[in-house]
Amino acid sequence: MTEKETAEKIVFDEDHLRIHYDTDRSLVRLVWKGYVPSEDYRAALDTALEFVLRNKVHLWLADLRNMSAILRDDELWTNAEWFPRLARTKLQRMAILPSRDFFNQMSVKRIMDGTLGVIEFPVGYFAEEDESMEWLLGKDVKSA
């Protein structure tokens, strides 16, 4: 199997988010699209979290390149409610492809600054998807 011929399948596809799952690599890839209203943002993150829990996923790639601003209330919810639940999963690494949108970049920085002491897995930021995949699949990651 080449890198592009993995066992990846789309497990969620809505207006603002598509979630891909690579069973062989125990990896989810979230591809965010545009502005996400609060209710949809929270529901999408909860859906992703439930999937990660149910499938004991180890690796998370957040593709934020086409995502726009996140509301401040959603930033606070992400830190207070969502990340503490994510911290209790089997995740080993999270890679982020930052948004082109400045306001999203600032939101994500505030969110991730708020995860210090909450999550124990490393988080990496990458300009290119290939770099993020190489890091996610590094030798020190346990197989599923």
Q: What is the CATH number of the domain that holds 65?
A: 3.40.50.10600
Residue 50 maps to a domain: yes
Indicate yes or no: pTM above 0.85.
yes
Residue 52 maps to a domain: yes
Give the pLDDT score at 120.
95
Number of domains the chain contains: 1
Give the pLDDT score at 10.
97
CA dihedral 71→75→76→79, nearest 10 degrees, is: 160
Domain containing 69 equals: 8-136
Q: Which residues contact 113 (CB under 8 A, 6 or more apart)?
A: none
Task: State the number of CA atoms in the 13 A half-sphere of 48 facing the CB.
Answer: 30
Give the pLDDT score at 7.
81
Give the pLDDT score at 5.
57
**Cβ proximity of 121 and 93 under 8 Å:** yes
pLDDT tens, N- to C-terminus, the chain (144 residues): 444 556 899 999 999 999 999 999 999 999 999 999 999 999 999 999 999 999 999 999 999 999 999 999 999 999 999 999 999 999 999 999 999 999 999 999 999 999 999 999 999 999 999 999 999 999 655 544
Give the pLDDT score at 2.
45
